[in-house]
Structure 1
Amino acid sequence: MAGRTVLIAGATSASGHAVARALTAAGAHVVATGRDSGKLAALATLGARTETVDLTDERQVDALAERLHADRVRVDGLLNLVGGWRGGGGLAGQTDADYRALEGSLTALRFVSRAFDADLRASSAGRLAIVSSTAVARPLAGGANYAAVKAASEAWTRAVAQGFAKAARDAGQAPAAAAVILRVKALAGLEDRLASAVLALWDADATALNDSTHDLTEAG
């Protein structure tokens, strides 16, 4: 990890702090993003570069990429932690307002993965990871909005993985980039396990890792 740069999208949660601590301790450079500059300040004390940005705004995401590139910062890893939960009430309780709020995590993933796709492909070990949910495999009526957004995020990530593999084949090179899905039932209490799983992404072979899904709830 020493010298690599990892961007954490939505870094102000307990999980974001745990991952940032683990990455900086391993010698990586962390770019921590979020909407609240006050909450990002705590991540700056860990040594992270903080960027206040609304990741659901494509222009702001593109401006972030431009700032980093202007400073000669290239991203080796991207972890999407933008998320949240709204649900309950069975199928009848799945409101459009709830869906739109949850959809922000997918929107952020789409924007940041596109903005930094070239960086990840150019890296000697590019890694993209999302935190998804076990609800994708077993959705409930009361969480239909949530499961649908997570399923879409997984589909997007698998498409990124296919793009990584195709780019390597077309270039006649061994794959160096990988896109991975990390599933949990709930992140509370699994922050350190998530941090360890993120670090381990750079210990694994890109070919074996790309387009893989890992259930952290069952790990360890």
Structure 2
Amino acid sequence: MGNGNGALSGSVIAVAGAGGPAGRATLLRLAEAGAVVVGSDSNPERLAEAVDAARYAHGGATVVGEKVDLLDLQSTRDWAEHIEKEFGRVDGLVHLVGGWRGGSAFTHTGLSDWDLLERLLIRTVQHTSLAFFDALQRSDRGRYVLISAAGASRPTAGNAAYAAAKAAAEAWTLAMADGFRKTAGEGGPASAATILVVKALVHDAMRAERPHAQFAGFTDVEDLAEAIAGVWEKSAAEVNGNRLWLTEKP
């Protein structure tokens, strides 16, 4: 199991989209906090590197990677069931699957961009939320954490497809939160679905590529990982159905 100490000791948390910079930082932070971490990513090589980095940094932690087709509902359900069977519980799903397409003007929006973003940003949220809902509800501190963008609340002309997809993913996650409310007992839900909102993310490689860029309002992936881990430090009532802003509200 986990490394036996830390705020999340004994917790089992799945991370979808674990191979990118944000996923790598999240695996490291959750492992540091003592959680068992199960990552998935569409790029198996990138996922293996992220898993190995977290294992190396925290030698006592259980960090594993699994190949999952999140665009297939049954495969996603099988993943959730396998995690619960293997580790006895599921306390979280962190949704980091991302993607961006945009244009210079509204009339330059490519509907093929929407087709791609609908799959990456909406369909994967639908599948992970449906697949993990019951297991998260069985946990005494289950959390579904969606990472979204401020642009969902204030779309720009060139970001129509991206902003609309993010807004739809947020609405779906808020519906999941209402599901936790409606199936809870008199004491209220112990599980929660919440949204962490960023303007955009930045990491060390981006800074190295653009040393003079300011990245104003961007959230560092390590700060995002810290905020993700912090969701479990808050009560379900504090986070369920809420947007937690890591950047200035538009």
TM-score, normalization by structure 2? 0.83
Per the TM alignment, residue 97 of structure 1 is displaced from its structure 2 partner at its CA by 1.1
Give percent identity, aligned residues only: 39
Does the aligned pair in 1 maintain the 2:94–2:145 contact within 8 Å? yes
Q: Give the letter aligned to residue 12 of structure 1.
A: G
Match of 1:202 among 232, 236, 240: 232
Q: For structure 2, list consecutive stretches of 5 or more residues without a partner in the other structure.
A: 1-7, 56-62, 204-219
Distance in 1 of aligned mates of 2:197 and 2:187: 30
Paired position in structure 2 for 1:132:
148
Aligned residue runs from structure 1 range 79-118, under 5 A: 79-103=94-118, 104-118=120-134
Aligned match for 2:46, one of 28, 39, 42: 39
Q: Judge conservation of contact 2:84–2:135 (CA < 8 Å) in 1.
A: no
Matched with 2:17 is 10
Q: C-alpha distance in 2, partners of 1:193/1:58?
A: 31
2:15 and 2:38 in contact (8 A); partners too: yes
Q: Deviation per CA, 1:67-113: give whole Å up to 9, x if none.
A: 32442442101111111110113121211211111112210010011
Q: 1:77 aligns with which of 84, 87, 92?
A: 92
Unaligned runs of 5+ in 1: none
Tell me which amino acid in the other structure corresponds to 2:131: A
Q: Paired residue for 2:58?
A: none
Letter in 1 for 2:122: L
Q: 1:22 to 1:72 in 2, by over 3 A?
A: closer
Q: 1:162 aligns with which of 164, 174, 178?
A: 178
1:187 CA displacement? 1.1
> What CA distance in whole angstroms lies between the structure 2 residues aligned with 1:125 and 1:94?
41
Aligned residues: 217
Question: RMSD value over aligned CA atoms?
Answer: 1.5
Q: Please identify the structure whose Cα radius of gyration is greater.
A: 2
1:138 aligned counterpart, secondary structure: coil
The TM-score with structure 1 as length reference comes to 0.93
**One-letter amino acid matched to 1:173:** G
